[in-house]
Amino acid sequence: MAQISLEFPDGNQRSYEAGITPADVAADISKSLAKKAISATVNGQHWDLQWPIESDSSIAINTMKDEAQALELIRHDLAHIMARAVQELWPDVKVTIGPVIENGWYYDFDRAEPFTPEDLGAIEKKMKEIINLRDPVRTEIWDRARAVKHYEDNDEPFKVELIDAIPGDEPLRMYWHGPWQDLCRGPHLQHTGQVPADAFKLMSVAGAYWRGDSNRPMLQRIYGVAFTGKEKLKEYLHFLEEAEKRDHRKLGREMDLFHMQEEAPGQIFWHPNGWTIYTTLQDYMRRQQRRGGYVEVNTPQVVDRKLWEASGHWDKYQENMFIVEVDEEHAREKAINALKPMNCPCHVQIFNQGLKSYRDLPLRMAEFGSCNRYEPSGALHGIMRVRGFTQDDAHIFCREDQIGAETEKFIGFLSKIYRDLGFESFKVKFSDRPEKRAGSDEVWDKSEEALKTATQTAGCEFTLNPGEGAFYGPKLEFVLTDAIGRDWQCGTLQVDFVLPERLDATYIAEDGAKHRPVMLHRAVLGSFERFIGILIEQHAGKLPFWMAPRQVVVASIVSEANDYVQQVVDQLVAAGVRAEADIRNEKINYKVREHSVGKVPVILACGLREVEEHTVSVRRLGEKQTKVEALNDVIPALAHEATPPDLL
């Protein structure tokens, strides 16, 4: 038998007979390792303990302490265990596929009756019984004809179709979890008892077309989540509870911010409260951009396809564009236009009007640009993922030797805005040259080095995102982490040598000749819609006072205080506070509850005592106690609190 050499993570090597399995290797090292082993990493690939190793390789034995590998196996095994449980409970159910996804897995079933919440409880109970049996998991490679016959004999048509779709030279691996069998690439654990029985939960059932084709059967997809221990499952379920409380769609209804309807898919109907947040944020950004040396422009919504062809978007982005055909008067054919999906080609058109000198650079051109992009209906999500949105977009036209300075300046600009909006820190990803790209290696070397150096000079560490740059240049992505640990990619900075070339942008350099500017695409918020959604979820609707759409409600306790309530409101409004009166004939506790649900930050209650003493009873959102304060003290304090941070 041929000998092979296996190299371990510590650099040591051992010789074995070809065909040895990782399970045998673990046993050769120690009995305790053999007991703890769950899989191996062989030449960088995740490897089942039962798979033979036929040639010289690197190897590491994985245990439950190896989080990534353990999670993959636990979740994959649970998909099989769930499918086994379903078929033990309902033998007529047909099985299809069950992949691992983020935080868990799903499995699609063909069953005439819909699964109920009670069914999910029965499946979970059966799964735990299977885990406690500690049934062995074994694997074999079958030829195609044997596998097809097996599934035909067992009336599993979906599995037969899956085999037909597998390339002919690919081996078919069969896995058994006890007596139950599935077609699967693996790897898997060694027995069902290795799955932690207290660290998983079945979450929901949804419809899913077989192979994503609406002309094929509608299946039932059961989702589950799983972790390496019960505490991590508990943490995740708590996270889901928090996320549900913070869901911007739910809070949007409670705070009366916006709505969406089927006549305008992916478009937002902003209500007065929501539009107040929007315009407050936009006014803040406008002031910051003016201070940052930006000029503001506005460009057309509908643009002829000729410009999109020249920019390259017609070729690369057409499926995401809304096409507008116009039957021009006396025209022999319809003019074809598109709603703009981005602002950059239009900004170049403004730059190209009149001669530009090197003295005009850098030129920082900003627009609150309304864009429209086609997103599949299934991808739409509240105001986070829409078809119509407004970017806080800007393009900086500069010389090559200004890339570094402009990058550093932009990072400082973005950092202050994020701090003002409640995000003290952010992560930066650096995406370098992709395999398919425009521009010479020399130009890429310059732009990548300038971006990296400027980012470091600005005091920002970054992680490398290899090969993920735009085809026209490298980019930085700025990632915010919210109050419950979710990451949101918001700001971007991209270096572009291509669009100025395609759209013939030039400036007169010191040597009197025409040169191409470099174009820096940049955004801080990304889109107002998505960023407002992030802010709502970050603060669970309790927005900073200066941004809250309804800052103060002044509520009467008795009708005799109504005139005083209106006087207080008038004084607050005059001081720049968004205030409103509630003089309805309702009990004060009812009013407080209602306005608390609407996330009003401050409620001022007024009764006869407050009228006589010229005071107000102050209740802040989330606090049970109230304080009686002099009106002359409350108004300037709230006016100060209502002032945006950049105006303090």
204 SS3 class: strand
- Establish whether 191 is a catalytic residue: no
Rounded to an integer, what distance in angstroms lies between the CA atom of residue 539 and that of residue 484? 10
Q: Which of 313, 395, 433, 437 is catalytic?
A: 395
- Alpha helices for 364-432 (secondary structure H): 403-420
- The angle subtended at Cα 511 by Cα 507 and Cα 513, nearest 5°, is 45
Q: Is 177 annotated as a binding residue?
A: no
- Establish whether 475 is a catalytic residue: yes
Give the largest CA-CA distance in the chain.
102
Q: Which of 184, 344, 398, 490 is catalytic?
A: 344
Closest Cα partner for 587 from 556, 561, 565, 625?
A: 556
DSSP state string for 455-470: HHHTT--EEEETT-SB
- Alpha helices for 292-440 (secondary structure H): 305-311, 313-317, 344-351, 403-420
- Establish whether 80 is a catalytic residue: no
Q: What is the DSSP letter of 571?
A: H
* Both tokens assigned to 26: 């673990």
Q: Which of 475, 539, 599, 619 is catalytic?
A: 475
Q: Which of 80, 387, 446, 521 is catalytic?
A: 521
For the chain, state the CA radius of gyration: 31
Q: Is 515 annotated as a binding residue?
A: no
Rounded to an integer, what distance in angstroms lies between the CA atom of residue 494 and that of residue 473? 7
Strands (E) located in 470-614: 475-481, 487-496, 507-508, 514-515, 518-527, 552-556, 579-582, 602-606
Q: Which of 391, 402, 494, 538 is catalytic?
A: 391
Closest Cα partner for 535 from 240, 248, 289, 256?
A: 248
- Establish whether 393 is a catalytic residue: yes
- Establish whether 395 is a catalytic residue: yes
348 SS3 class: helix
- Side-chain-side CA neighbours of 567 within 13 Å: the count stands at 12
Q: Which of 393, 432, 496, 582 is catalytic?
A: 393
Residue tagged 């082993």 (tokens): 37
User: How many residues in total does the chain contain?
Assistant: 648
Q: Is 344 annotated as a binding residue?
A: yes
- Side-chain-side CA neighbours of 312 within 13 Å: the count stands at 10
Q: Which of 373, 381, 416, 640 is catalytic?
A: 373
- The angle subtended at Cα 457 by Cα 453 and Cα 461, nearest 5°, is 85
- Establish whether 291 is a catalytic residue: no
Amino acid sitting at position 535: L
Rounded to an integer, what distance in angstroms lies between the CA atom of residue 34 and that of residue 64? 12
100 SS3 class: strand
What is the distance of C-alpha 545 from the center of its chain?
27
* Both tokens assigned to 639: 């006016």
Helix axes 230-246, 528-538, angle to 10 degrees: 120
- Side-chain-side CA neighbours of 290 within 13 Å: the count stands at 6
Q: What is the DSSP letter of 212?
A: G
- Establish whether 10 is a catalytic residue: no
Please list the active-site residues: 344, 373, 391, 393, 395, 475, 521
| Residues annotated within a binding site | 344, 395, 521
| Residues annotated within a binding site for Zn(2+) | 344, 395, 521
